[in-house]
Amino acid sequence: MKRNIKNLALLFAATGLLSACSKQLEIVPEGAPSNSNYWTNQTDAVNASNAMYQWFDNENFYGRGFWWFINASDDMVTGRVKAEGDNIKNFNRDFIGKDYTESQWKMRYITIKRANDIIKNVPKINMDEKLKRRILGEAYFLSGVMYFELGSTYGDARAGVPIVSRDSVVADKPIPRAANVNVVYDYVASELIKASEYLPYFSTYTEKEYGRPHKTAAFAYLSKMFLYKKDYVKAEQYADSVILSGQHKLLDKFEDVFTIANNYSKEYIWSVASFAKGDGNGFGSILPGVMLENKGWGLYNGWGYYMPTKELYDSYDSTDLRRAATILKPGDKFVYFGENKVYDSKNSLSGFQFRKYMEPFTYAGGIHASTNPDHPTTDLALPLIRYAEVLLIKAEARIMQGKSGDDEINLTRKRAGLKPITGATLADLKKERRAELAGEWANRHADLVRWGDAQAAYAKPLHHYDGSIAWPARNFNPAVHHVWPVPNSEVQNSAGVVKQNVGW
């Protein structure tokens, strides 16, 4: 199923309008409307809703920047020498204030500001009520997801992240951090529950609406948030809201999930809508190009980051069909720009490459890849949360309650060609989650941290395909490194109101 949002225009926080064609968003500034002359009609509401997606096209939003945090796990290495990225992986505070992660906080709070403006102003607009409800649902959804990403990245029992009051009329005034991350999670719950009340099911959308939030996406993020909060009863409850909706199922073949044709299949829940073409720059996540072989064997400017480790490869059962679909190893056959090739990396620091996001580069002429190598978007929508993860969230929540998670785990195992198991333990769940979700936004590093496994895992070196050490052992201090540092600019610009995380 191809992605086609014809009207995904962007509004720069009520400071400019964007127009869009079917495959590319173009920035067309049109003055600076204010609250006094804006929020008057349906077009204003639609443009404002589209403005919330502006940062989805930033390379550091869902493309490279945040992925340096995920890259900290034992599943991957940087792939090529990159000092700032290396410092992040090694939990060396020298990266604080640098480019890769500095903007994460700001971009998400800008998105929250735009969502808040919609929630405050759209209800009073005389417009189509069905559309109004969807736009309000989108705003609540994106607010909830942004706060979840902020809270789970920077918050802990000692401090959450600032929660911006929608009633505030004071612009740019620093806001102290919430008392703890659970305060943030409670707010996330309220936003996503509201979103689920407003949003329709995905099955009601026409193709031009694909890529927008929908009801079960809100339920899915509620289940994941409650898993992180360790409220396993509610994590199971909201996972069931997805499962019992009848809207989703696993595709028959694991490798089919990561194809352009299945961007919006039954397994889809929420992804970064992405396009290769337009004015040459494309739109959306650049991660497939970032993970591609550095210089792309002379045919495309892959960036060569985030390469799988031997530890990840060896963690799979030998008969697990997901291993070959997830990882390219030397000697593996694959198609690249319409030609049959045998994988042999000349520069990967691990000797492997993730295969999950390679499909856009299989087509002759690069018809599904951006022609701008500095912004290598593709027509593949990057999965942020998919149905298989929801199944495993339910399994983990049940196991943590002393109940059976066998049914859910065995659904993903069956597709992987593995025999069913009985009496699945938390160790079984951890192994299954790693195998199913490797190299995805599901975030192996966050998993290891919340399970309490990060210190032991990172005390071991990571290995190259040939058995040599690709990355030395690291010193992970669970009292400090369980959260990432607040961006330096936010601490400084707040004049001390926003405090840095302890130890960073």
- pTM across the whole model: 0.93
pLDDT at 5: 39
Spatial separation of the C-alpha atoms in residues 14 and 31, rounded to whole Å: 9
Q: What is the DSSP pairing of strand 268-272 with strand 382-386?
A: antiparallel
Q: b/e per residue, 368-384, with b = 16+ CB within 10 A?
A: bbbebeebbbbbbbbbb
| Alpha carbon 56 to its chain's center | 10
Burial class (CB in 10 A: 0-12, 13-18, 19+), 422: exposed
- Residues contacting residue 496 through CB under 8 Å, at least 6 positions apart: none
What structural domains and CATH numbers belong to the chain?
42-494 (1.25.40.390)
pLDDT at 79: 87
The whole-number mean pLDDT for each consecutive block of 10 residues of the chain, a chain of 504 residues, reads: 35 32 29 67 97 96 94 95 94 95 96 97 98 98 98 98 84 88 98 98 96 98 98 98 98 98 98 86 94 95 96 98 98 98 94 97 96 93 98 99 98 98 98 98 98 98 98 98 97 95 97
pLDDT at 277: 85
User: Which tokens hold the place of 318?
Assistant: 């030998």
Is the CB of residue 387 less than 8 Å from the CB of residue 248?
Answer: yes
Place of tokens 């340096």: 68
User: Which tokens hold the place of 423?
Assistant: 């009496």
Spatial separation of the C-alpha atoms in residues 324 and 231, rounded to whole Å: 35
